[in-house]
Structure formats: structure tokens, C-alpha cells
Amino acid sequence: MRFVFKTSYDADISLFKHRAQAVWYALLLLLVLATPLYFVAIGDAYLLGEITGMLILAIAGMALMLLTGHTGLPSLGHATFMAFGCYLNINLLGAGLPWLIAFPLSGLIAGALGTMIALPVLRLHGVYLALATLAMSILTSDFVVIAEPWTGGIAGAAVPDINIFGMEINRYSTPYKFYYLVLAVAILIVWFYRNLLRTPTGRSFTAIRDSEISARAMGINLTRTKATSFFLSATTAGLAGALFGHSAGYVTNETFDLVMSITLLLMIVIGGLGFIHGAFFGAIVVGIIPVAIANGRTFLSTTFDVNINVPGLESALFAFILVCFILFEPMGLYGRWLKIRTYFELFPFYRKDMFKRQKSYLKTDRVQ
């Protein structure tokens, strides 16, 4: 059991609770920095590409986590903001801007556009936001087709390579450089995110999530704070979309569809709503499941001569896992880990209902 004695008020918002935690995160950083070494040693960078893909998903997951996990606003349309980011990035690069300017700019413009779209709905109840973003997500593909001069429409658009001061980065020809680039973006965003949560703005997000009425009673401007959260979230999603474009190499009107938006939502629920770690855990699960299904299929067909080739099995399995998580572990994988850790930290004083959430009985906001 560890006792953390706080000797100043700043200790409450310090980045790490105690030194051991800082050491663990430093080790984790070393691990992710050293990962490519392994692939250099085996001389096959295919799996590194998959890991890079997971990191990009995790960035998109963090975007949605900020909005849904920390501000409590469900969004079913984050793939749309990714599409904004991706196509803006392509066009800005095509206009001759250097990547280092085009990339952040495409995120910021995506954020601004997203906020403009969502602003009217932000005043409403959460379900309406889910609905409006759902509609947006369905329309994305149509709009990509309509905006053909910029997006290439159904034929799709090729994403140019990244060029940083003369250094060419491409997913396939230089996978290691691409990995480090994505990692750098991910770490910067985590750092920003973590710091944001320690500021009054970040705390007002959480306040809104827990109770809009009490947040308002404490003098938080609901609409402005929600808009801020939405802007930051859409910006991050735009950045993730731009990176996703670089990773895919070629994007069409079907790349950023509703399934992608729902996958993002699924990711953060499985990972753990309301924890930055959750975005990463979720991305790992979402990245592993298709591989596991493919391997399982091969195993079944080679060993038992059973061929399972049912279309839609993958998304159904995703959905089933999601249902199980919501029913049995609403706090997600990270929540499960927290429980296990607390059990050992407090041993033998852990109580069963320590993480039990207070139930809130619904009252209508309709006039009857």
C-alpha cells in the first residue's frame, strides 16, 4: 500500500501522482520509442504499419473521448471531421503549402467547420446532438461526391507524401519515419489533453458531463464550453483524419463512412469512457479484432475444415463485444484495470461497490 502525502495544493493537479507513476510512464515511452528496433531486427515492417494504424485510431479516439468521455456529448459523426481534415490536408498540400503548415491548418479548419455545424445543436439535449451528427455522418459520402473538384469524388484522391524540410515520409517506403511522426503527434496530443484536463476549462468539461444544471449553477457558460470542447475534439479528429489519409494513401467517398464513426464510438466505450488511456486500449482492441478473426478463420478451415464465411460477421462480433462491455463493464478495459489495481493497492480492504456509479433516474425535458 502506498500513501501519497500531499504537501501543496499543486499536488492535486500534478501530472503524475507519485514518482513511481512517472517512472512507469517513462518506461512506456522508452518501449514505444524502441519498438521499431524489433522490426528492424526481423526485417519486416508490416506489423509496424498496423501499430501505426492503431496510433492513428487512438488519436481519433482521443478526439471523441474529449467530447463524449469528458464532456458527455455523444457524437456519431467523427468520421466526418476526419474526412474534413483529410481532404483539407490533401488540398493544402496540393496548393503547395509545406506539410508542417498544412497539417495543423487542416486540423484547425476542420475544427472550425465542425463547430459551425454543431453550434446550433449544442444548445439541445444530448440525443439531438447524436442525431444531428448521425445525419452528418450519412451525408458525408454524398458531399464528398458533390465536392468532386476538391475530393476526387467516387474515383478518389491520392494523398501526397509528407515532406518535412526535404525529408520524404511515406507509409510504405519509409515506415519507420512514419511511425515516429505519428508517435510524435500522438504524444503531443496526449500531453496537450492531459494538461487541458488540469485547467479550469478541462474541469468545466467534466462538470458539464456530470450535471449540466450544477455546472450552470457554478457559473459555467454551457454553450461556450461545449463549443470549445467540440472545437478541440473536431480539430483533433481532423488531424487524425489527415494522418489516416497519409496512412491509407488513397481515399474515396466511402473511406469515412458511418461504420467508421461507430467504430470510434465503440473504441472509446471498450477502452473506457472518460480516460485518455481508454482511447489507446480501444484502438488496440479494434486493431486486433480483425486480425484475430482472420487468423481464427484460417485456423478453423485448416485444422477442422470448417469454413465460416458469413458476411457481416466482423461488425456483428464488434457489436456483441460492445454490448457485453456496456452491460458488464461499463468503465471499459481501463476501468477493469483500475479495479484490479485498486484491489491490490488496498489489499485486503477493497470493497465490492467501490466503483459503483450513482444511478440517475431520468426525468423528461418535455412538456406534457
List of residues contacting other proteins (CB under 8 A): 68, 72, 74, 76, 120-121, 123-128, 130-132, 134-136, 138-139, 142-143, 145-146, 212-213, 216-217, 262, 265-266, 269, 273, 310-313, 315-316, 318-320, 322-323, 326-327, 330, 357, 359-368
Nearer to other proteins, 50 or 212 (CB): 212
Torsion-angle region of residue 55: left (phi > 0), alpha (psi -120 to 50) or beta?
A: alpha
Instruction: Give the distance from CA 41 to its chain's centroid.
Output: 30
User: In what helix (H) or strand (E) does residue 337 lie, and over which residues does it extend?
Assistant: helix 332-345
CA torsion 292-78-161-282 (nearest 10°) is -30
DSSP 358: P
SS3 string, 202-253, reads HHHHHHHHHCHHHHHHCCCCHHHHHHHHHHHHHHHHHHHHHHHHHHHCEECC
Nearer to other proteins, 37 or 213 (CB): 213
Nearer to other proteins, 89 or 133 (CB): 133
Copy the grid coordinates of residue 337. 484495470
Nearer to other proteins, 88 or 269 (CB): 269
Shortest Cβ 358–other proteins spacing (Å): 9
Any idea what the Cα angle at residue 95 is, between residues 92 and 100, rounded to 5°? 50
Shortest Cβ 251–other proteins spacing (Å): 19
CA–CA separation, 68 and 49 (whole Å): 28
Nearer to other proteins, 305 or 365 (CB): 365
Nearer to other proteins, 34 or 367 (CB): 367
Shortest Cβ 87–other proteins spacing (Å): 18
CA–CA separation, 318 and 277 (whole Å): 20
Shortest Cβ 150–other proteins spacing (Å): 16
Shortest Cβ 308–other proteins spacing (Å): 10
Shortest Cβ 368–other proteins spacing (Å): 6
